[in-house]
Structure formats: C-alpha cells, structure tokens
A and B are shown apart, each in its own frame.
Chain A
Amino acid sequence: GQNIDQPTEMTATEGAIVQINCTYQTSGFNGLFWYQQHAGEAPTFLSYNVLDGLEEKGRFSSFLSRSKGYSYLLLKELQMKDSASYLCAVFPPSGGFKTIFGAGTRLFVKA
C-alpha cells in the first residue's frame, strides 16, 4: 500500500527553528516534494528531493533518507507568515503522473 505519515499539528515560537517530519511507505520512490498551503489558498511548491541529503533554500531546508523512508522540512528564523499547512508528497515510479500526498502538518507560529 501507499502511506505517508506526518504530524497533524505543531506549534513553535517566532524566531525559533522547527522540524516537520514525514515518513513514507510507497511502492517505489522517484522523489519527495514539500508544499506550503496557507489557509484558504492553493498549495505552493517548496522543495523537491531525489537524492539523500540536505537541500537548503534560504530559511527552508529539506532532508531525505531513502533507506529510512524519511524526510523532514526545517524552517529557521520562524516568522508569523510561516503559519500554514505543510504537505509532504511522494512521486512513485509506478504512479506515472500521480503524486501521493500526506494529510499535511498545520504549523502555528506564536509571538
């Protein structure tokens, strides 16, 4: 079966660092996406990992371990505008054009 797990909610303080974890069990793996979705808005692309390791993009970094079926999104210097849902999604090779999405993690940033 195909399954992606991520925490439902997290709370962090402005200026801090937060790590959002994602574990996946899928039939094959071709890459992992992270999307950000503000309430009432469309998801927007944050990162794509294909190989193991850390990809850094400004305040956001994404890590992948294919052998462990594990990824995390790291947000540094949190700002209030980072309050949003963060979606982990896997692109399996058998899926053709399909991407499998996790249920998302709602992040609340407090002052």
Chain B
Amino acid sequence: DVKVTQSSRYLVKRTGEKVFLECVQDMDHENMFWYRQDPGLGLRLIYFSYDVKMKEKGDIPEGYSVSREKKERFSLILESASTNQTSMYLCASTLGQGGQPQHFGDGTRLSIL
C-alpha cells in the first residue's frame, strides 16, 4: 500500500511566521500535490509537481511556495502566514499520467493566530 506521510497532524503558528509543511511518499510516485480543504469549498489545488525540481501552480498559489528536491518529498511553504491560511492541508501523490487515483496523507490542520 502507498503511504503518504505528513509531518504534523496539528500545527499552530502566528501571523507573519514562515511555515513549512512536509510530505513524504514511499511508492516512487512521480506526481505530488498540495491541497487545502475548507468547509463548503472542497479540495482546492495549491501547487503540484510532476518531477523533481518541477512545480506548477494550482488554482490558489498566492501566499504559498513549494519545494521538491527529492522524488519522495514535497514541501509546502507559507512565506508569511496569515489568518486566512488557517485550514486543513492535504498532500497527495499519483503514479504516472492519466486517471490514476490520488493517495492522500492524513492532513495537517493548521491554525494561524
């Protein structure tokens, strides 16, 4: 089974801090994704990566950046955290192109105070 691991389940940070969310997958998947999930809005794509050092903006990239230095690890960075970034963050990975199901991590519930 694919295992996608996110570094923290719960995180509390202060406005203006730089925040790092880490995600690691163990099945050699090429593609990795970061989403945020808010009530009534569903999953919204922040960034994705289809290869090491490659990244593409999703639908809501503003205020975020990502890093993929190794195939198994995809990091999400909040450059200067703001209260409207309080949310559930989900990392996912898929194998190859086409309609492959996404494998999700357990999520990080981030609160910005």
State the A residues within 8 Å of B (CB).
4, 8, 30-31, 33, 35, 40-45, 48, 50, 87, 89, 91, 96-99, 101-104
State the B residues within 8 Å of A (CB).
4, 31, 33, 35, 40-45, 48, 50, 56, 58, 90, 94, 97-99, 101-107
Q: What's the nearest-Cβ distance from chain A to residue B39, in Å?
A: 8
Whether B42 and A99, one on each chain, are in contact in the complex, defined by CB atoms closer than 8 angstroms, is no
A44-B104 contact in complex given A98-B45, A102-B42, A104-B42, C-beta closer than 8 Å: yes
Whether A97 and B106, one on each chain, are in contact in the complex, defined by CB atoms closer than 8 angstroms, is no
Number of contacts between A and B (CB, 8 Å)? Answer: 56
Interface of A, secondary structure class, is loop
Q: What's the nearest-Cβ distance from chain B to residue A45, in Å?
A: 4
Contacts of B48 in A (CB 8 A): 97-98
Whether B40 and A97, one on each chain, are in contact in the complex, defined by CB atoms closer than 8 angstroms, is no
A110 to B107, CA, bound (A): 27
Contacts of B40 in A (CB 8 A): 8, 103
Contacts of B104 in A (CB 8 A): 42-44
A42-B31 contact in complex given A50-B99, A87-B43, C-beta closer than 8 Å: no
